[in-house]
A and B are shown apart, each in its own frame.
Chain A
Amino acid sequence: MAFVAKRCGVKFDPPSIVLVYEDGKTKKMRQRIMPVRNFSKCSDCSQAAERLKNNARHSAYLQGVSLQQLERLHAVLRDHLRGRTLEQSLASLRLDPDQDLNKLSDEELARRKAQMDVLFERNRKHKDDPDFVYNLEVEFPEVDDREAGSWDESEEGF
C-alpha cells in the first residue's frame, strides 16, 4: 500500500480531519490536513464522512481509515460547531453502561447503536462462515458459588 494510515484526528480551526501516515516508498511519517468543506452544525456526519472518503484528492490516503472512524471525527467537529466541549463530545461517543438509552433523541440513540454495532460485527458469525451453526446451543450450568459483582443489591426490592 502506498500510504499506511497511523493515526487520525481533528483540527477545529478550520474544521479539518488530520491524518498521520507512513509513505510506503520513503518510509517517512507524514501529516496530511484535509479541510472539511461545506460543513455546518446541521450537517449529516455519515454523508460528510462518505464525501471525504471518496474525495478524489484524499481517498488514496484514507484507504486504511474506516468510514465509522471518519463519521465519529465529523461528529466531534460538528459538536464543536454546536458549542459542545471536547470532553462532552467524547463522552457522548463513549458508551456509558449506566446511561438510560430510552431517554435519548433519535440521533443520539443511533450514535450509540452504531458504536455497539462495531462489536456486534466483530463477533458476528455469518451464515457463509465455515463454522456457522444455525442452532447453536450452549449450556451454562448454574454455579453454586458464583463470583461476586452481582447486579442484584439486596436493598433493592427486585
Chain B
Amino acid sequence: MARGTTDISELDQEKYDTDERVKIICLGDSAVGKSKLMERFLMDGYRPEQLSTYALTLYKYTTTVDGKAVLVDFWDTAGQERFQSMHPSYYYKAHACIMVFDVQRKITYKNLANWYKELREYRPEIPCIVVANKIDADMKVTQRNFNFAKKQGLPLYYVSAADGTNVVKLFKDAIKLAMSYKQNSNDFMDEVMRELENFELEQNEESSDKEDNVSKEEKTHLQ
C-alpha cells in the first residue's frame, strides 16, 4: 500500500460517528486567512495539533449545545490547498464546511467554485458557510454583491480576523449547523455508505455517478 505524504486516510475518523463529536472543515485558497480566523475564534484557548505529514492542522474546541457537551474538531489545511485539491479523507465524515475567500483578491472568490465542486463530490449535503474575510481592509466590500453564495443558496458572512467582526458568530453558527446536520442527517451519501459497508467494491462498477463518489469515499476509507 503506497502512502503519499498527504495520505490522511489512516487517521481514525470513526470517532466522528459518536453523538458528542463533530468535524468541521475549512476550505479556501492559500493566504485567505483560514488559520487566522481559527486563532481569533479560539484566542488563547487553542491547542492546534500539527499533523505536518498530512499537511493538516487540527484545532479542538469544547462547547455546549442545548446543554450537552460537544467536542468539535476543526480541520485546517496547513498548505494542502496548494495542490488545488484536498485528500478525500479531508472531507470524510465532515459535518459542516467553512469556505473562505479574501475580499482583496478576486481570484480567491473565483476559486470558490472549484472548492465547492470538490466539496459536493464528497459531501453533497453538509451545511456550508461562505466567508468574505478581511473586510477591515475595505469596508465598502460589504456593500458589494457576491452572487456565488446566493446562487448556491449558501449563507454569506462578512468577517475580519483582524478586528474580530463576526468571527465568533461564524464559528458558533457553524457548530450549530454541524450539530443539526448530524442529528437530522438524511444525507443520502451517509445512508448509502452504511449499505455499502457489506458490499463488494466490484459491484460499484455499473453504478451511477453518485455511487461512484461513494465508492471513492469508501475506497479511501478502506485503504
Contacts and interface: CB of A to CB of B under 8 A. Distances in A.
Interface of A: 95, 97-104, 109, 112-113, 116, 119-121, 123-125, 127, 132-138, 140, 143, 146-147, 149-152, 156, 158
A109 B30 contact: yes
Given A99-B107, A102-B82, A135-B169, A152 B164 contact: no
A152 B36 contact: no
B137 A119 contact: yes
A138 B166 contact: yes
Name the interface size band of chain B: 35 or more
B3 interface: no
Given A97-B106, A100-B111, A158-B151, 8 more contacts: A97-B104, A97-B107, A98-B105, A102-B82, A123-B160, A143-B143, A149-B144, A158-B148
A93 to B, nearest CB: 15
Interface string B165-191: 111110000000000000000000000
Contact of A147 (B43, B143, B146, B147): B143
Interface of B: 29-31, 36, 43-44, 81-82, 84, 104-107, 109-111, 113, 136-137, 142-148, 151, 158, 160-169
Contacts of A123: 136-137, 160, 162-163
Contacts of A133: 164
A136 B147 contact: no
A137 B159 CA distance: 9
B81 to A, nearest CB: 6
Contacts of A149: 144
Contact of B163 (A95, A125, A146): A125
A146 B43 contact: no
Contacts of B168: 134-137
B163 A127 contact: no
A61 B168 CA distance: 43
Query: Top 5 A-B pairs ranked by shortest CB distance?
Result: A135-B168, A123-B162, A123-B136, A140-B142, A152-B147
